[in-house]
Amino acid sequence: MKQSAQQWPSEHRVLKRLPMSIVLPTLISVFVLSLGARDQLIVGQFSDAAGRTGPMLVLGIAVAAVSAAAAAYAGWSIAAFVPSDPASLLPVVALILAALDVAIPVRLKAMKEPTRSYVAIAVVLFVRQLMSGPRLAIFAIAALATDLWMPMLGGVLGGAIAIAGGWHMGKDGLEHLPLIWIRRVFAASLIVAAFLIGLNAYSAAL
């Protein structure tokens, strides 16, 4: 059962919980996994078409913050309520799904006439982010964390910085980077992380 709004007793977990000081690792993980992600490219595409407007930047950061916070809360809450054995598999499954998402190349159609509706842009970004690799990584980290706010803060900051990068560089600028190979390397890293977490959970259950 729940002890407090922020922490759960570690003795009920199969996996060793992550320490509270995981803001920076989470921030870096989310940022690098967001390089060339669909939401970053969408923001870059709008920047190329309509210019680097302040409202677009604020909107993108706000949506990234909300989706990151939602992913962190979902991972932390679900891991706390389900039994230990299934909970130990949550990060593994989430990281494998994240690896699949990151490994698939992102191709956006050319924008004929960019919408001026910020509501429509916000909805598109939020839907694209919900099951994206970076949000699944936040989910996995939060599922392993002893504290909700640290992975949430790291995810929010990492997502915001990634969106700001897409807004500044634009889609054309981002596509000058070797995004396919960068994302494949990150996808392989996620698979390794999932394997190690799964191995740790199996060893702890013996």
The two three-digit tokens of residue 49, written as one number = 């078409």
Question: How far apart (Å, rounded) are the C-alpha atoms in residues 6 and 39?
Answer: 30
pLDDT given for residue 82 in this prediction: 82
Q: Which of 112-121, 160-169, 171-180 has the highest mean pLDDT?
A: 160-169
- Per-residue pLDDT at 148 exceeds 50: yes
Tell me what pLDDT residue 56 has. 92
**How much is the pLDDT for 202?**
74
Q: Helix crossing, 84-103 with 133-144: angle to 10°?
A: 160
pLDDT value at position 6?
47
Mean pLDDT across the stretch 168-196? 93
At 69 the pLDDT is 97
Identify the pLDDT of residue 51: 82
CA 157/CA 85 separation, integer angstroms = 31
Output the six-digit token pair for 155. 């995810």
Mean local confidence (pLDDT), 20-45: 91
Question: Residue with structure tokens 């130990």?
Answer: 88
Q: Report pLDDT for 5.
A: 42
Structure tokens belonging to residue 66: 């909300």
pLDDT digits (tens, 9 = 90+) for 93-134: 999 999 999 999 888 877 666 667 888 889 989 999 998 999
Nearest-5° Cα angle at 199, 181 to 194? 30
Average pLDDT over residues 166-175: 91
CB 91 within 8 A of CB 143: yes
Residue 158 exposure: Cα atoms within 13 Å on the Cβ side: 30
Alpha carbon distance 11, 172 (integer Å): 50
Assess contact for 164 and 41: CB atoms under 8 A.
no
Return the closest-CA partner of residue 30 out of 195, 172, 180, 150: 150
Residue 7 has pLDDT above 80, yes or no: no
Closest CA to 167 of 113, 125, 109, 132: 125
**Global confidence as pTM:** 0.86
So what's the pLDDT on residue 71? Answer: 97
How confident is the prediction for the chain on average, in pLDDT?
86
Q: How far apart are CA 148 and CA 74, in angstroms?
A: 10
Nearest CA among 22, 133, 157 for reference residue 76: 22
